[in-house]
Structure 1
Amino acid sequence: MIKEVLGNFIENLKTAKNYPFILVIATTDVSLIPGITVAGASPELTHFTPAADAEFLVLGKCKVINTVPITPDGIPTPALVTRASLSFTRVTKLVVNAGSRILPKIPFIDVGGKPGGDIRKYSLDLETTERIIENSTLLGEELSNTFDLLVIGESIPAGTTTAMAVLQGLGYDAIDKVSSASPNNPKELKRKVVLDALKNLPSNTLEKISKLADPMLISVAGISLGFKGKILLAGGTQMTAAAAIIKEFNKEKLKDIAIGTTKWIVKDKCSDIISLAKQVGVALIYADLDFSTSKHKGIRVYEEGYVKEGVGAGGASILAMINGAKNEDIVRRVDEMYSELLISKN
C-alpha cells in the first residue's frame, strides 16, 4: 500500500506513461569518519558501496567487490529491495556518476563531478559544483524529450550527514532530524561534524552548497531543475536536502516533485522526515512495507530499524505497487534474490 503524508502526488504516478529509474552515485570523505555510517563493512569500504550498488541494480551481481555491500553486522544493501521491486516494472535503469571514488564496471552517464571532500574543510570547489549543476540540468532537459516522469534514487554513504549540513546551512531546522542506516543513529557525532562544517560559512548560496553538499545532492537537484515533467525523489531524509537545493534555484519546481520513501523512514523515532519535508515544502509519500515475514534475518531486521532506505528502495517499491505488486509479492521476490546471493556466496 502507498500512503500520502504531504501533498497529492500518487495520481501522477498512476497516469505516467513513460519513466526511467535513475540511480545517482557519489562518495564523500565524510564516510571515512569512524562510526558515522554503517553503509559498508568498514569506513574504507564505504567508497566501494555506490559503485557496487549500481552494478547490483543493473546486473544482479557486483564487480568492484566480490559480494554485495553489507553493514558491519552483515545486513545486505537495500539495492536488493530496489532490484526486486523494479522486477515488477518495465522501467529503464540508468546510472549517473556524480562523483564516485570507485567507478562501476557497467555503462553509466558521467556529469563531470568528483568525490566530495570532508565538509568540515570543504566538499567541492565552486567550478566542480557549477559543472555538476550545468551538466545535470542538461541531462534533465534531454530526458524531458522521452519521459514524462523521473524516479531518482541515490547511493552515497554518510549522505544523511551532508544532507543535515545543507539543510541547516540553508536555514532549516535540521539538527538531529536526519535518519541513519543503523537503529542507533549516531546523532552526537553527526551534530559535531555538521556544526564544525557550518563555521565560517560563505554567504553566497552556491558557495554554501559547494562547502556542505555532496556531489549526489547537487546532481539530483540539477537533473530535477532541467526536467520538464514530474519527479519522484526516491529516498529518505537526504532527498529533503536535494529538494531544498532545488528550491533555492526554482521554488516553483517543487510543485512537480514528491519524495517517495519507506515506512521505516517515516516512522523512525530517531529522525523526522515529515518536519523536514514540511519546512522545505515538498510532497511526501511512502511504501507501507512489512518485512517481518521474510525467510531471512538479514531482511527481517528492517523491522528493527536497520537500513530503512537507500538506492531508491522506497521509490522502487512504490513503482512496484503502482504496477499491482503487493507487500507479500515484494517480500517473496526479495527472499528469492537474497537466497540466490547466499548460494552464490557459498
Structure 2
Amino acid sequence: MQYIKEIVGKLKDIRNKKTLFVLVIATTDISLIPGITIAGATPELTHFTPAADAEFLLLGKCKSINTIPVTPDGIPTPAIITRAALELFKIPKLVVNAGSRVIPKLPVIDLGGEPGGDIRKGSLRIEVAQRILENSMILGEELSKSYDLLVIGESIPAGTTTAMAVLAGLGYDALDKVSSASPQNPKELKRRIVMEALRDLPTDTFGKISKLSDPMLIAVAGLSIGFKKEVILAGGTQMAAASAIIKELSKETLNNVTIATTRWIVEDPSSDIKYLAEQVGVSVVASMLDFSSSKYEGLKVYERGYVKEGVGAGGASTLALANGYTPNDILKKVEEIYSQLVNIS
C-alpha cells in the first residue's frame, strides 16, 4: 500500500481537512486547429467540452450536448474518474468559469474573463488577464475562510499547448515535454505553434503571460495565491505551467502547492511532468490507478496512453486513496458510472 503512504506523507494529513473541489473551465482557440487535441469529437465540439465536463461532474449528465464528451474514438471524458472518486467520499464541488465559449447549464462562478484566442496572435488582452487574476485571487481568499484544502481541476481542450508556450515563454525547458490526450502526442504541431507564439514577446512578465496563457492557467494561479492554506493542483503538465505563473507572481505560495496527477501522466514516455515540476520547484504525487482489468474497453484504453488525465482526475483519485480507498475501489465505482452511460447510449 506504498502509494497511500507516499500520498499521505506528501500531503500531510488530509483526511480531516475541510476540502472543496473546484473545476476551472475555459476554452482556447488553439483547440480549433485540426490535429492538436482529441478532447472532442471534432475541433468545433472542443468548445463544448468544458461545459459538458462540468455538467457531467455535478449532474451525472450533460445538458450542453446530447452525450458526455468523448474522443473521436469514443473514449469517455476523465470526468467519470473524478465523479467516481468524489462520490466515494462526499466533498462539495464548485465550477468556476475563467473564459469558456459555452457556459454550463448549471450554477457557476464567473471570473469576468473571456475565451482565449490564438496564442500566435495573442491569447488575452492585458486588462482581461488582469481581471481574471484579480477576481480569482479574491475568490481564493474567500474560500480559505471556510476550507482547509482546495483541490483545483481543469477542463480546457488544447491546454497542454498553451501550457508549453507559457513555460517556454517564462524561460523553462519545456518544448516537447507536455502531455497529450492521445497516445500519438502531436509534438511537431505543438512545437510549431509555440515557436510562432514566442515571436515578438512582450518584455514584461505579465505581458508574456497574457499573450501565451489560456484563461484557465491564470485563474488556477490566482485561486492558489488567494487561498491561504493547502492547495492541490489536480492535473498533469498543465499544472506545471500554472505553478510557473504562481512562482512569478507569488513565489512563497508554491510552499503550499502540490500537483496531484495520475500514474498515466507520470509514466507517459511522450512527456515529462517530473522534469517540468523540478524546474519550477513544485512537488508532484500520482494516484496509482490501473484500468487493465476493467471489463470495458473504453476504460482499458487508458492503459494504452489515451486521455491520461483531466477534469481533476488525478487529484480526486489521490484524495480517495488518501482517505483509505484503493485503486480497485475507484475502478469499480468508475465502471458503475460507465455502465450507466453505456446503457443510456
TM-score, structure 1 length as denominator? 0.97
Which residue is 1:59 aligned to?
A: 59
Aligned residue type for 1:156: I
Relative distance call for 1:7 and 1:87 in structure 2 (3 A) is closer
Which residue is 1:75 aligned to?
A: 75
Q: Post-superposition shift, 1:10?
A: 2.5
8 Å Cα contact 2:169-2:198 kept in structure 1: yes
Q: Post-superposition shift, 1:65?
A: 0.3
Which residue is 2:222 aligned to?
A: 222
Residue segments in structure 1 that go unaligned for 5+ positions in a row: none
Q: Does 1:184 align with 2:159?
A: no
SS in 1 for 2:12: helix
Q: Post-superposition shift, 1:9?
A: 2.4
Aligned residue type for 1:87: E
1:222-241 pair list within 5 angstroms: 222-241=222-241
Residue segments in structure 2 that go unaligned for 5+ positions in a row: none
Aligned residue type for 1:53: D
In 1, the alpha carbon distance for the partners of 2:249 and 2:77 equals 33
1:56-205 pair list within 5 angstroms: 56-205=56-205
- CA RMSD in angstroms comes to 1.4
Which residue is 2:49 aligned to?
A: 49
Aligned residue type for 1:13: I
Relative distance call for 1:6 and 1:209 in structure 2 (3 A) is farther
SS in 2 for 1:31: helix
SS in 2 for 1:258: strand
In 2, the alpha carbon distance for the partners of 1:6 and 1:30 equals 34
In 2, the alpha carbon distance for the partners of 1:342 and 1:45 equals 21
Aligned residue type for 1:9: K
Relative distance call for 1:328 and 1:144 in structure 2 (3 A) is same
TM-superposition CA deviations, 1:209-228 (whole Å, max 9, x none): 11000000000000001010
In 2, the alpha carbon distance for the partners of 1:283 and 1:323 equals 20
Q: Post-superposition shift, 1:13?
A: 2.3
Q: Post-superposition shift, 1:11?
A: 1.3
Which residue is 1:9 aligned to?
A: 10
TM-superposition CA deviations, 1:119-167 (whole Å, max 9, x none): 0001000000000000000000000110011000000000000000000
In 1, the alpha carbon distance for the partners of 2:300 and 2:27 equals 28
In 1, the alpha carbon distance for the partners of 2:154 and 2:107 equals 17
8 Å Cα contact 1:32-1:43 kept in structure 2: yes
Which residue is 1:255 aligned to?
A: 255
Which residue is 1:25 aligned to?
A: 25
TM-superposition CA deviations, 1:18-47 (whole Å, max 9, x none): 011100000000000000000000000000
TM-superposition CA deviations, 1:85-121 (whole Å, max 9, x none): 1111111000000000000000010011010000000
In 2, the alpha carbon distance for the partners of 1:334 and 1:148 equals 27
In 2, the alpha carbon distance for the partners of 1:6 and 1:176 equals 28
Q: Post-superposition shift, 1:328?
A: 1.1
In 2, the alpha carbon distance for the partners of 1:149 and 1:335 equals 28
Q: Post-superposition shift, 1:12?
A: 4.3
In 2, the alpha carbon distance for the partners of 1:278 and 1:155 equals 24
Aligned residue type for 1:261: T
Aligned residue type for 1:187: K
8 Å Cα contact 2:163-2:237 kept in structure 1: yes
In 1, the alpha carbon distance for the partners of 2:295 and 2:90 equals 27
8 Å Cα contact 2:7-2:322 kept in structure 1: no
In 2, the alpha carbon distance for the partners of 1:261 and 1:306 equals 15
8 Å Cα contact 2:265-2:309 kept in structure 1: yes
Which residue is 1:305 aligned to?
A: 305
Relative distance call for 1:118 and 1:6 in structure 2 (3 A) is farther
8 Å Cα contact 2:7-2:318 kept in structure 1: no
8 Å Cα contact 1:3-1:286 kept in structure 2: no
8 Å Cα contact 2:246-2:253 kept in structure 1: yes
In 1, the alpha carbon distance for the partners of 2:263 and 2:53 equals 21
Instruction: Give the number of aligned pairs.
Output: 344
In 2, the alpha carbon distance for the partners of 1:7 and 1:128 equals 38
Relative distance call for 1:97 and 1:61 in structure 2 (3 A) is same
Q: Please identify runs of 4+ aligned residues in structure 1 that moved more than 4 A.
A: 3-8
Relative distance call for 1:18 and 1:5 in structure 2 (3 A) is closer
Aligned residue type for 2:11: I
Aligned residue type for 1:147: Y
